[in-house]
Amino acid sequence: MLEKFTVIRGRAVPLRGEDIDTDRIIPARFMKVLTFEGLGKYLFYDERFDEKGNPKPHPLNDPRYQGASILLVEAGFGSGSSREHAPQAIKRAGFRAIIGESFAEIFFGNATAIGLPCVTLAPEDLAVLFQAVEENPALEVEVDLVSKEVRFGGRTAPLFILEEAREALVEGLWDPIGELLQAGELLDQFDRRLPYPRRSE
């Protein structure tokens, strides 16, 4: 049984910046790996560390945000490559949800498929949430995928997420492999009907 994501509760870390691309989330040189294990420590590596490996000022290095499990981002998050290494690194660094203004298409799909909910808020609500978390890093934030709202500091803001993705997360259907496999015979019909590439003789 896959985990059912209904309410995700935790502290949030504010990560400002538009169009944060997957090369920033995880630089390509850390993808020379055969598994996803341990990728969490390379999350935003070049933003967090200088060329000698010394920490730079960055929300993820800020002691006040240690242990946060919700990532706050702005618009166009996850643009660029299809590397699943990006959401894998975020998840493996301990994050359980991302709240932003908008997400790149492939990133969103990859995140959903590994059980990392990405939800959006209206820009004005997101601005309030950013400010609240920056003022009070200990603030508890709740992402409620059932009632479709984000709650923090006595406020409630409606969240948006593709309905198919929400269903999949809430019902524990976010990894589709089981259901895809059930198509069985139907797959062979399509394989016969769609002739190319040909089976090699």
Judged by the rule CB under 8 A, the positions of this chain that interact with another protein are: 16-19, 21, 23-24, 27-29, 31-36, 46, 51, 75-76, 79-85, 87, 102, 104-106, 109-110, 113-114, 162-165, 167-168, 171, 173, 175-177, 179-181, 183, 186-187, 190-191, 194, 196-200
**H or E stretch at 129:** helix 123-135
Task: Go through 29-42 and write b for each residue having 16 or more CB atoms within 10 A of its CB, e for each that does not.
Answer: ebbeeeebeebbeb
- Please, what is the minimum distance in Å from the beta carbon of residue 153 to another protein? 25
Place of tokens 């242990």: 67
Could you tell me the end-to-end alpha-carbon distance of the chain, in angstroms, rounded to an integer? 41
- Please, what is the minimum distance in Å from the beta carbon of residue 192 to another protein? 11
Rg (CA), the chain: 19
Compare residues 81 and 143 and give the one whose CB is closer to another protein: 81
Give 78's Cβ-side CA count (13 Å radius): 28
- Please, what is the minimum distance in Å from the beta carbon of residue 83 to another protein? 7
Compare residues 154 and 200 and give the one whose CB is closer to another protein: 200
